[in-house]
């Protein structure tokens, strides 16, 4: 609709008054009826990575059609103010299909340190475009989750508790027992505790994929190795 | 305020708070209190968001926020955090130049470790 409106208004200038009501309603949300740069296919992966000083300068004619210029204030005549307002990501900046996928091998890695790095990458806190209310993070695949390590006596002494909600419904398991039963749950439990709790946090948690064995079904996403900066994450043998 | 004004302010509220005057009046009073408080909180939240973004941006270059800002202060670069966060997102080359300036002015406090870390 955004493409149709300005082309019709430029080709029929005589009936601009007839077009005015429809363009008014369209511009209530600013710039919906405005033809900025021609609707170009998305060039790079995310529009947030456009280096602004190297972006093409937009012609004033292309930004606001002459008929609609009266609707906009002086300060907005060259487009929205992108330098004095803090950037907020648009929907195109966090499309799930264009996100990075990371893979990490959990063999002999300390559980908490590994989970911390994973949570940082899933949340997107390592990116300069981090926004707390939006999912800007990446996907993380964990393989060999049954070989994750803990220090000290945690293997037999760390307890995992869950409660069914009914009286007397508390179940307590040790790290060992849970690893024999459902090894993926250990890494999932650790990472879930480090992600925000709430609607967005639950959605972020679905971006974590944990597998007990060495194989994972996500080869099509071409996952990259997760960069871990913690020097003490690997257990020295 | 009269009822019409209250209902106008109560648009979008949940349940009876948008329709029934007794409940709407309470909720609208609360909403106005929140908006008063949050006009002040917004300034704090924005600043902490800028700092988080600058931190992430500098760590991509191997420097953390604290050493970066200290280096900038030493060089008397008076760019504020809002602008720095926008630069870190949209002007990566300029931001790298700033990180280099800061690194030259203040390389950091790390004491080199003797021997191999365990």
DSSP letter for each residue of B25-92: HHHHHHHHHHHHHHHHHHHHHHHHHHHHHHHHHHHTTT--HHHHHHHHHHTT----HHHHHHHHHH-H
The reply to whether residue B89 touches residue A129, judged by beta carbons under 8 angstroms, is yes
Those residues with Cβ within 8 angstroms of residue A4's Cβ, 6 or more apart along the chain or in another chain = none
**Worst-scoring range by mean pLDDT, A57-61, A136-140, A208-212?**
A57-61
Whole-number Å distance between alpha carbons of B86 and A83:
7
Give the best residue of B56, B65, B68, B113 to mutate against chain A (max A CB count within 10 A). B56
| Beta bridge partner(s), residue A102 | A140, A224
Residue A83 touches chain B, beta carbons under 8 Å: yes
Residues of chain B with C-beta less than 8 angstroms from the C-beta of A90: none
Tens digits of residue pLDDT in A78-103 = 777 888 899 999 998 899 999 999 99
Q: What is the pTM of this model?
A: 0.79
| Beta bridge partner(s), residue A149 | A110
Torsion of the alpha carbons at B71, B77, B82 and B87, rounded to the nearest 10: -80
pLDDT at A6 over 50: no
Over residues A181-200, the mean pLDDT reads: 96
Looking at residue B109, its pLDDT comes to 82
Residue spans of beta strands (DSSP E) within chain A: 101-105, 139-143, 159-163, 170-174, 208-210, 224-225
Q: Residue A4: is it exposed, middle or buried by C-beta count within 10 angstroms (0-12/13-18/19+)?
A: exposed
Of B82, B89, B117, the CB nearest to A128: B89
Distance from CA of A9 to the nearest CA of B (A): 34
The reply to whether residue A87 touches residue B89, judged by beta carbons under 8 angstroms, is yes
- Locate the chain A residue with the closest alpha carbon to B64: A126
Residues of chain A with C-beta less than 8 angstroms from the C-beta of B89: 48, 87, 128-129
Residue A81 touches chain B, beta carbons under 8 Å: no
Of A86, A132, A231, the CB nearest to B82: A86
- More confident call, A70 vs B91: B91
Over residues A55-68, the mean pLDDT reads: 67
Over residues A39-47, the mean pLDDT reads: 42
Looking at residue B113, its pLDDT comes to 73
Residue A50 touches chain B, beta carbons under 8 Å: yes
């Amino acid at each position: 609709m955004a493409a149709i409106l300005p082309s019709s208004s430029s080709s029929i200038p005589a009936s601009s008054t007839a077009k005015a009501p429809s363009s008014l309603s369209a511009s209530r949300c600013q710039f919906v009826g405005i033809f900025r740069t021609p609707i170009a296919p998305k060039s790079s992966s995310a529009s947030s990575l456009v280096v602004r000083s190297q972006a093409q300068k937009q012609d004033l004619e292309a930004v606001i059609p002459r008929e609609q210029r009266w609707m906009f204030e002086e300060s907005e005549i060259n487009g929205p103010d992108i330098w004095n307002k803090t950037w907020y990501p648009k929907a195109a900046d966090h499309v799930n299909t264009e996100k990075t996928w990371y893979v990490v091998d959990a063999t002999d890695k300390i559980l908490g340190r590994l989970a911390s790095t994973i949570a940082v990458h899933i949340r997107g806190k390592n990116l300069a475009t981090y926004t707390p209310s939006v999912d800007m993070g990446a996907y993380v695949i964990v393989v060999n989750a049954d070989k994750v390590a803990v220090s000290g006596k945690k293997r037999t002494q760390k307890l995992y508790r869950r409660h069914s909600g009914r009286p007397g419904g508390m179940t307590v398991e040790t790290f060992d027992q849970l690893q024999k039963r459902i090894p993926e749950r250990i890494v999932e439990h650790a990472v879930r505790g480090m992600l925000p709790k709430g609607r967005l946090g639950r959605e972020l948690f679905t971006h974590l994929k944990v597998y007990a064995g060495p194989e994972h079904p996500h080869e099509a996403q071409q996952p990259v190795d997760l960069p871990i900066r913690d020097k003490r994450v690997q257990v020295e043998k | 305020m009269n009822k019409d004004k209250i209902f106008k302010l109560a648009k979008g509220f949940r349940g009876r708070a948008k329709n029934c005057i007794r409940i709407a009046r309470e909720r609208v009073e609360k909403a106005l209190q929140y908006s008063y408080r949050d006009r002040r909180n917004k300034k704090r939240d924005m600043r902490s968001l800028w700092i988080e973004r600058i931190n992430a941006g500098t760590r991509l270059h191997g420097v953390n926020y604290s050493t970066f800002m200290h280096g900038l202060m030493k060089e008397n670069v008076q760019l504020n955090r809002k602008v720095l966060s926008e630069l870190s997102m949209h002007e990566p080359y300029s931001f790298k130049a700033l990180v280099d300036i800061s690194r030259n002015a203040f390389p950091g406090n790390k004491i080199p470790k003797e021997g191999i870390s365990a």
